[in-house]
Chain A
Amino acid sequence: MFKNIYNWIDERLDITPIWRDVADHEVPEHVNPAHHFSAFVYCFGGLTFFITVIQILSGMFLTMYYVPDIINAYASVEYLQTKVAFGQIVRGMHHWGASLVIVMMFLHTMRVFFTGSYKAPREMNWVVGMLIFFVMLGLGLTGYLLPWDNKAYFATKVTLEIANSVPVMGPVLKELMQGGTIVGAETLTRFFALHVFFLPAVMLILLVGHFIMIRRQGISGPL
């Protein structure tokens, strides 16, 4: 029956080549840890994506409880952490995943750098990868404020002061992120919007670009 449904759709949309392309592409021996243990360094990119998926899923569950206003933000996080079933696990995964995704991305970047994989014809993919790196750092920065405890509040104050010290653009940038003259209610909602909507959207677009390019160009050859 499933075969008939599949065939019905395939006759109309010709979907076979799409998944065939994803499924059947070659994974050469030199990146396969089953053949060469040292090839585990080629896993870091995939692991970065894996943890990114964990971040998206755990983040979606966190927004079921999180309230982005200064009266309730802390209380909602505390409630999630101490009262909700598995809340501590979900928040823990998001918290530790945020660190691990940076670690994995860093290792992936180092692998690409030291194997010279960014060289022609893969220059653009490196640039897109670095943009993903910067977006990830932005996600870490904005997410840090959301529990609205003292550590978050004072770290964000310092961050915005640093942004303020950039010549010409600084004060504008600071006020844009801060949403006013102090770190307060507006800052929290802005950081929330950036963390949950703007930056993930940008990241997903960049990720699609990253993956399309690697499919087009294939993985770099053995050294």
Chain B
Amino acid sequence: MPTGSGANQATFAGELSVDGSTVSIRRDTDVASERVSVSLPAVVSVTDQTGEARYPAFKAIMGAKKKPIQTMSLADLGVDAAQVGWSGASSKVVDVSPTPARTAGTIVNDDGTGAAQLADFLAGRGFI
């Protein structure tokens, strides 16, 4: 079961390097740090750990405006209209509501007794 394009996939790369036709990544899960290699062509997704973003300079932004934009229809892509949009959706959002606001509690100024007051609060809630 490769991706639809037939390419390999390696996801959540925190570190990435390419050697010839092989892409190697480091991938951190909750329980382990994994090294994974895939051969090209591959779809690779990265996390914000892979590196600093390079922001385009003004000249490049202006240059981008002149790049040709190609418009494709569903037919061009060979996609059946019933598979996409509302008719193709496999889930729908039925409600969106604001998260109930939290209200601020007791705030004390540390006059030297801040830690003791905090310890009282924590003990009162069973944390100590």
Genuine A/B complex: no
